[in-house]
């Protein structure tokens, strides 16, 4: 058995494998899922950041309803779920806000002034990204109809070589067609 004491190595792989990956927004995104995915986990080490991202990915992240008590200053100032140290204490002591270890912080905590500047820059970057995306889509749309190798036109030609209006649809007369009985 895999849970037997001392038996740490398994010789076979997983018995059952999922055919599709888990999606936390399978039945539509709720407000809780949207806020959890949009949250930036700052002031934590790489391990804690990975743990929090896993919780968000598999619908295990539960946000705080009331502020928690910081273990350093003993004030109710912790507003992020799973954090044990408030942001000012974590910034002052250079510690991970989740585990409390003095490791390298992946995304450093920012002050209010820096957050305002960052949000202005982020909104500008999103707008320019949308502009670039639409330009790219337009280029792809223009390229997609150039697949004719014979030099044929997409619109039918008249006998004199000019292109007829593509709005007009020429329907053949089928009133003289006789239907054969196949029974």
Asked whether residue 176 is assigned to any structural domain, the reply reads no
Tens digit of pLDDT for each residue in 60-72?
999 999 999 999 9
Q: Looking at the 3D structure of the chain, how many domains does it have? A: 1
Tokens representing residue 65 in the block? 């309803």
CA distance linking residue 162 with residue 166, whole number of Å: 12
First and final C-alpha spacing in the chain: 69
Asked whether residue 77 is assigned to any structural domain, the reply reads yes
Asked whether residue 53 is assigned to any structural domain, the reply reads yes
Q: Which CA distances in Å does 102 have to 8, 48, 105?
A: 31, 12, 8
| 43 against 127, higher pLDDT | 43
The rounded percent of the chain whose pLDDT value lies above 90 is: 33
Asked whether residue 114 is assigned to any structural domain, the reply reads no
Q: Residue 61 in contact with residue 50, Cβ under 8 Å?
A: no
Tens digit of pLDDT for each residue in 146-168?
555 455 555 555 555 555 555 56
What's the domain range around 90? 29-104
Q: Residue 47 in contact with residue 99, Cβ under 8 Å?
A: yes
Asked whether residue 45 is assigned to any structural domain, the reply reads yes
Residue 36, burial from CB neighbour count under 10 angstroms (0-12, 13-18, 19+): buried
What's the sign of the alpha-carbon dihedral 39, 44, 46, 49? negative
CB atoms < 10 A from the CB of 28, how many?
Answer: 6
Tens digit of pLDDT for each residue in 14-56?
888 888 988 888 888 888 889 988 999 999 999 999 999 999 9
Q: Which CA distances in Å does 39 have to 54, 56, 81, 131, 175?
A: 13, 9, 11, 25, 67
Q: According to the model, what pLDDT value does residue 45 have?
A: 93
Tens digit of pLDDT for each residue in 70-80?
999 999 999 99
The pair phi, psi for residue 68, each rounded to 5°, is -95, 170
| 13 against 138, higher pLDDT | 13
Q: According to the model, what pLDDT value does residue 73 have?
A: 93
Asked whether residue 35 is assigned to any structural domain, the reply reads yes
Asked whether residue 83 is assigned to any structural domain, the reply reads yes
Closest CA to 119 of 111, 81, 87: 111
Closest CA to 154 of 166, 142, 143, 162: 166
Asked whether residue 61 is assigned to any structural domain, the reply reads yes
């Amino acid at each position: 058995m895999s849970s037997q004491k001392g038996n740490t190595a398994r010789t076979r792989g997983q018995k059952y494998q999922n055919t599709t990956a888990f999606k936390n927004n399978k039945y539509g995104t709720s407000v809780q899922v949207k806020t959890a995915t949009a949250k930036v986990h700052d002031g934590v080490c790489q391990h804690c950041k990975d743990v929090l991202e896993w919780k968000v990915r598999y619908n295990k992240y539960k946000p705080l309803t009331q502020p928690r008590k910081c273990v350093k200053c003993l004030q109710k100032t912790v507003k992020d779920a799973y954090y044990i140290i408030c942001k000012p204490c974590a910034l002052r002591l250079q510690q991970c806000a989740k585990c409390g270890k003095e490791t390298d912080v992946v995304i450093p905590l920012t002050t209010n002034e820096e957050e305002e500047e960052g949000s202005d820059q982020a909104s500008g970057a999103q707008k320019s990204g949308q502009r670039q995306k639409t330009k790219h889509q337009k280029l792809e749309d223009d390229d997609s109809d150039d697949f004719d190798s014979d030099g044929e036109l997409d619109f039918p030609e008249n006998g004199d070589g000019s292109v007829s209006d593509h709005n007009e649809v020429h329907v053949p007369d089928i009133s003289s067609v006789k239907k054969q009985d196949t029974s």
